[in-house]
Amino acid sequence: MECPSFYFALGSLFMLGISHSSCYLALHIVSSTSLLIFLHSRERVRNIDFGMRIIRHDDFVILFGCLLLESLFVPKSAGYFGGRVLKAVAACGLVFSITFFFVTLRHMPDNKTGGRRIQRSGPYRFVRHPLYSSLILYWASCTIYLSCFVSLAIFLWFVSSRIIPRIKECEREMVSTSSEYMEYRKAVWSGIPMYR
């Protein structure tokens, strides 16, 4: 069921973030996050099962809280040239990850197809886990954009200690239910840093 006031709130956050100057960098991150939530909730209307077992909602809350606390309370010097270049690269990463997230949502099968078939169209031809890849790129870009390198280190630890073991478990389940998944796994990169 769609909730127009929820979409209005997300749209307002997005417009607030893109309309303010660069002194509100954290607002830009809140804005782009509201866009991702909007895209995700719109696709749920299409009856898509995301199976968000690898990255959970409480993970997002913890990571987002660390990022906002560091961006608000840790002083940063962004006047040097390298900082501007990093910020530009991170902004490109944000745009690419949001686009990749949207394209991946468009290629996800709906629940009506039944079973767990292997998706091989769109981004799934190149990456086994494009939705998670886009979210990892998005979060890394957020931390670099805000110059929150402590949060980036926490996030990289989180990827290696939490996300990769969850992906391995999910892939073991896929191998046990589908014999062709092993071939697909050998041929296509996972899309997750530090994991083939």
> Domain map of the chain by residue range?
53-187
Alpha-helical segments (H) within 146-179: 149-158, 164-177
Q: Is 127 helix (H, G, I), strand (E, B) or coil?
A: strand
Q: Taking a C-beta distance cutoff of 8 angstroms, is the pair 31, 16 a contact?
A: yes
What CA–CA distances, in Å, run from 48 to 4, 91, 111, 128, 181? 20, 29, 6, 18, 21
CA 41, 47, 52: angle at the middle one, nearest 5? Answer: 60
CA nearest to 154, candidates 20, 75, 64: 64
Mean of pLDDT values over 83-104? 86
> Is pLDDT above 80 for 161?
yes
pLDDT of residue 195: 80
Q: How many Cα atoms within 13 Å fall on the side-chain side of residue 97?
A: 23
The tokens of 25 are what? 């960098």
pLDDT tens digit sequence for 143-156: 888 888 888 898 89
Cβ neighbours of residue 175 closer than 8 Å, sequence gap 6 or more:
181, 182, 185
> Is pLDDT above 80 for 11?
no
Of residues 116 and 66, which shows the higher confidence score? Answer: 66
Q: How far apart are CA 151 and CA 155, in angstroms?
A: 6
